[in-house]
Structure 1
Amino acid sequence: MLENNKREDLQQFDGIIWDLDNTLYRFEGDFEQLCHIAAAKAALKGGLDMSHEQALALCLESYEIFGHSYHLFIERYDIDRTQIHIDFHSFMDKKLIRKSLDLVTIFETTPFDHILVTHASREWATRALLQIGLKDFFPDTHIIPIEDINFMRKSDSRVPFERALTLLNLPPEKVVVVEDIAANLHIPKKMGIGTVLVHYGNPPRPMPDYIDNHYHNALEFLMERIEKI
């Protein structure tokens, strides 16, 4: 039996706006440390005159302040945001990704239109989707990386979701967003889009009222929706 602890039933929908990292898959290993290493390599590739150890220390400081390993390089050293963003993701190892064959199988049975909205780069999104076997469900036109929308974050802007709705050619009430970060669901809820949180057994308490439904993972969410079709 599925243990989704749902708050309310979702409306019937035809399209799904997916997040990528930690939503369609989970990371293996020491993900945080590997992010710091990738960010340090990206910063040094950008021409910073410092040692790898100094760059790593700055990554740690950046993560503690901003929750992201390379943000301080942009603020303090005027490194190009787009370039370090792309270089950072190019140094990430796809072996970090945990593939789910069950998720691939259930994607093959779903009637939904899928689109990806991610804070990652297009290059990483493509590599990750290939690694987990889901690229066929996300053509290039249905991948919206943050660099394509002027680095507008999902927690701050309607633009990522407006772009997704346009590409899906669906009204908000026929679409749901699936995310692992609760704050990224506040804006789509205001727009009339259904909201789903995946939390891997660690749901926020109290559950925010802008989250319609929550599940352990993406597989559990899709399994329940297939049962209702």
Structure 2
Amino acid sequence: MAPGGGPFGHIETWVFDLDNTLYPADSDLWPKIDHRITEFMIALFGLDGISARALQKYYYQYYGTTLRGLIEDHGVSAVEFLAYVHDIDRSTLVPNPPLAAAIAALPGRKLILTNGSRKHAMLTTEALGLGASFEDIFDIIDAELVPKPELRTYQRFFDKHNVDPETAVMFEDIERNLIVPHQRGMKTVLVTPRPGQTDHREPFEIPGSLALPHVHFVTSDLGGFLAEILAERASASH
């Protein structure tokens, strides 16, 4: 769905999720993290791989992140968990100059809001050639370990960075993470895989329909979508 009629003309703050949003859905980065989470749970509980993975996915669906479940039920160290699961090889990430150029050209502030760690976001954006693209990163530690889609996480984000949701937009690959932004007045953009592209989202994260009231726009080409926004804004200014 392409932007039309200048719906982004009032936007002052551009908020981006990280994983499977700023890099392509078929990247092997998220599967690597997912595998590290399973390994962490095998070591923690002494479970076999199948049982560890089943518990991991239960925690993820019920608590929003596996980490939150481990903290709530077992008092696991967030610092230890995040350091382990994000210790991955990012060499398969390919820099995306068009995306970097489009983000750089957006007027206003650019921020990352992620359920991952700040270090993971920094290393990943650097590998993508986006290291200088963002003013700051709001990570799971900033969220006091309460992940999206919880209302209080977004409120902490708005308060910390002095963001007016009425003049902000959220780009995100998980549609349930756009419910609160929509309720608070943000524009919302769901970033999806291209047709035929590998989709690493969990089955429960894939909506049966994209005609959702909290999803204003859908794109499978973030760089192209931002370029269209820039063209709309340039046209409106003449």
TM-score by length of 1: 0.79
Hey, what does 1:103 align to over in structure 2?
Answer: 99
Aligned residue for 2:143? 149
1:110/1:226 contact within 8 Å kept: yes
CA contact under 8 A between 2:2 and 2:225: conserved in structure 1?
A: no
Q: Does 1:80 align with 2:82?
A: no
Partner of 1:220: 224
Say whether residues 1:28 and 2:27 are aligned partners.
yes
- Taking the TM superposition and a 5 Å limit, the aligned residue runs for 1:64-143 are 64-67=57-60, 70=66, 74=70, 78-139=74-135, 142-143=136-137
Partner of 2:212: 208
Cα gap change, 1:60 to 1:72, in 2 (>3 Å): farther
The offset of 1:171, in angstroms, is 2.2
In 2, Cα distance between the equivalents of 1:180 and 1:169? 24
Note if contact 1:18-1:179 (Cα within 8 Å) is conserved in structure 2: yes
Give the direction of change, closer, same or farther, for the CA distance of 1:217–1:161 in structure 2 (3 Å limit). Answer: farther
How high is the TM-score relative to the length of structure 2? Answer: 0.76
Structure 1 unaligned blocks of 5 or more: none
1:107 CA drift (Å): 2.2
Indicate the SS of the match to 1:135.
coil
How far did residue 72 of structure 1 move? 9.7
State whether structure 2 residue 202 is matched by structure 1 residue 198: no
Distance 1:223 1:167, change over 3 A: farther
Give 3-state SS (helix, strand or coil) of 1:60's partner. helix
> 1:165 is matched with which residue?
158
Q: Which residue of 2 aligns with 1:189?
A: 182
1:38 counterpart letter in structure 2: R
Question: Within 2, Cα distance between the matches of 1:31 and 1:174?
Answer: 31
Matched positions, count: 217
Structure 2: distance between partners of 1:66 and 1:169: 32
Indicate the SS of the match to 1:192: coil
C-alpha distance in 2, partners of 1:225/1:154?
26
User: 1:182: Cα distance to partner?
Assistant: 0.5
- Secondary structure of 1:86's aligned partner: helix
> Counterpart in 2 of 1:57?
50
Residue aligning to 2:17: 19
